[in-house]
Structure 1
Amino acid sequence: AVALVEADPSGGGPAGAYGIAKRALNRWVRRAAPTPEWAGAGIALNAVASGVVDTPAAAWIFASEEVRAAVEAAAPQPFGGFPGRPEWVAELLCWLTGADNRFVTGQIIFADGGAEASLIGDLHWR
């Protein structure tokens, strides 16, 4: 992602590289999960796409009311509130990686308070 953005500056700089890297990870999960190395070995491989969560990495968002408002408008989280809590995402991760998960693999699971659904709607099904 970094090399691609460096080769073509119109790719959006670091923010563009972030999006490209996320897409690459999502595609890798979907390709790798059903293989003998993962599913065949009894290993569930999923990715969790979290929304804005109250963690030290997101502290810059909350340092300014203006930035917080802009991020919240760009990534609305109508369910659960803004920001999300780390334990909400952790509970999902525990289930996905635990013995109770016997049937979910190859999925990108949005734990984002509804942001992806709000922004994309049914675009994937058109």
Structure 2
Amino acid sequence: AAPAAATTAAAAPAAPGAPVFAVVYPGGAVSGPATVAQGPDGPGGILSFTTDAAPEAVIAFYRQRAEAAGLASVMAMNQGEARAYGAAAEDGSGKLLRVVATPVENGPTSVQLDWTAGG
């Protein structure tokens, strides 16, 4: 298991005002600004970035952050080398996190993060 410091480490928000669970993986290289929008369950967005970390490490990081923020794991999927994870609030607030981490042959892991901050 990762040390507890990994979950509390200062990580850059995925976008200005993004919830605590929607952050850029430490050391991640963002390809451009997040696409953000206002939805029925509050503001949300999508962010793509790359990291040298393995998909399993990326998913573990987001699972810890989501659970620390009170979200419950609702989906986990392994397809080949790719990993996907989803978490949602159980309190009806609409908070949601989805992460897909896909290894690129001879390259970094490609990550797509999307979230809803809740109403």
Q: TM-score range by the shorter chain?
A: under 0.3
TM-score norm. by structure 1 comes to 0.24
Where is the strand percentage greater, Structure 1 or Structure 2?
2
Where is the helix percentage greater, Structure 1 or Structure 2?
1
Greater relative contact order, per chain length (Cα 8 Å cut-off, separation 6+) = 1
Which protein shows a greater Rg? 1
TM-score norm. by structure 2 comes to 0.25
